Structure 1
Amino acid sequence: MTEHHHVTHQDLNVADTLRDAGLRPTRQRVALAELLFSKGNRHVSAELLHEEAEAVNVPVSLATVYNTLHQFTEAGLLREVAVEGTKTYFDTNTDDHHHFFIESENRLMDIPGKGVHLTSMPQAPEGMEVVRVDVVVRVRPKR
C-alpha cells in the first residue's frame, strides 16, 4: 500500500522557495520549512523545532534538524543568532535587526524599529568586509 501525499499549494511554495535557494526539496526539508515559515517571523532553537516536528509526526532526528537549520542558514533562508556558546537560535526574519535575550525564559525578542544606533564601527581587517552586526541585549525581570 503506497502512501499518497496530497500536494497542497503551500507545499509547492515551500518546495519552490527551497529550490530557489539551491536546496533539493526533500520530504524532511519541506516538512521542517513548513513548520518554520508557516507562523510568521520567529526565533527557534533546533530542540524546539525538533519537538514541533515530533508533535506533528514528522520523523526526523535532532541531528537532521541541526543540519537542515544550518543548510537553510547557508542558503540565506534563516539567520543564526548565537547568544552563548551553547545557545543558538535561528531567526526566520533575515532583515537587519537586533535582539533582546530574556535570560529567565531563554527567549529572543526582536528589538523594534531602529532601536540600536551604532555611531562608529571598527574598520574590518585587511581583505575582509563586515557582513552584518548582531547586537544581543540581555534582559531580565527587575528585582
Structure 2
Amino acid sequence: MRDCGLRPTRQRIALAELLFAKGDRHLTVEELHEEAIAADVPVSLATVYNTLHQFTEAGMIRVLAVEGAKTYFDTNVSDHHHFFIEGRNKVLDIPVSNIEIGNLPPAPEGMEISYVDVVIRLREKKS
C-alpha cells in the first residue's frame, strides 16, 4: 500500500487481504462488505466504498461499470476485457489477445485514451 501512496491502516489491510487473497476477482462494494462482516472485520459499508475507491485511485484495482448503478471492482489491473452474464450478475475475464480493436476515434485535444474496456453481455439461450 505504501508503494501506491496509501497509509496501511488496519481496515485497509483487512479489506485488501479479503480482496486479494482469492486471486483475480470482480466484487461489488456490498459483496466485499458481506465478506468483511463474515470474517469479523468491523467495517461500515461507507468505509468499504471509500477504501475501494482509494484502491482504484492508487491503481491497485479497476472499476468496471456493468449494470447501470452496479459497479464491480476488478483486482486484475492488466489489459483485458469482460463477459457479463445477465441474470447471474457474474463477470468473467477475457484475455486482451482474444479481441482486436480497430478504428478508434481520436481522443479530443488534450486527452489520451487510457484503456478500452469491452464488456460482452451474455444470457442463457432460449429454447
TM-score category of the 2 structures, normalised to the smaller one: over 0.9
Counterpart-to-counterpart distance in 1, 2:81 and 2:95: 8
What per-residue deviation string (whole Å, max 9, x for no partner) do you get for residues 59-110 of structure 1? 0011110000000000000010011331100000000100000011111101
Give the alignment's Cα RMSD to 1 decimal: 0.9
Which of these residues, 83, 86, 97, is aligned with residue 114 of structure 1?
A: 97
> How many residues are treated as equivalent by the alignment?
126
- Structure with larger Rg: 1
Under a length normalisation based on structure 1, what TM-score does the superposition of the two structures give?
A: 0.86
Moved over 2 A (4+): none
Equivalent residue number for residue 96 of structure 1: 79
Greater share of residues in strand: 2
Q: Any stretches of 5+ residues in structure 2 without a counterpart?
A: none
Structure 1: runs of 5 or more not aligned: 1-17
Tell which has more relative contact order, 1 or 2 (C-alpha 8 A, sep 6+).
2
Distance 1:99 1:66 in 2: 22
2:40 is aligned with 1:57: yes
Amino acid at match of 1:88: T
Amino acid at match of 2:74: D
Identity over aligned residues, as a percent? 67
**Aligned equivalents of 1:70 and 1:97: distance in 2?**
20
Read off the aligned partner of 2:102 and give its amino acid letter. Answer: T
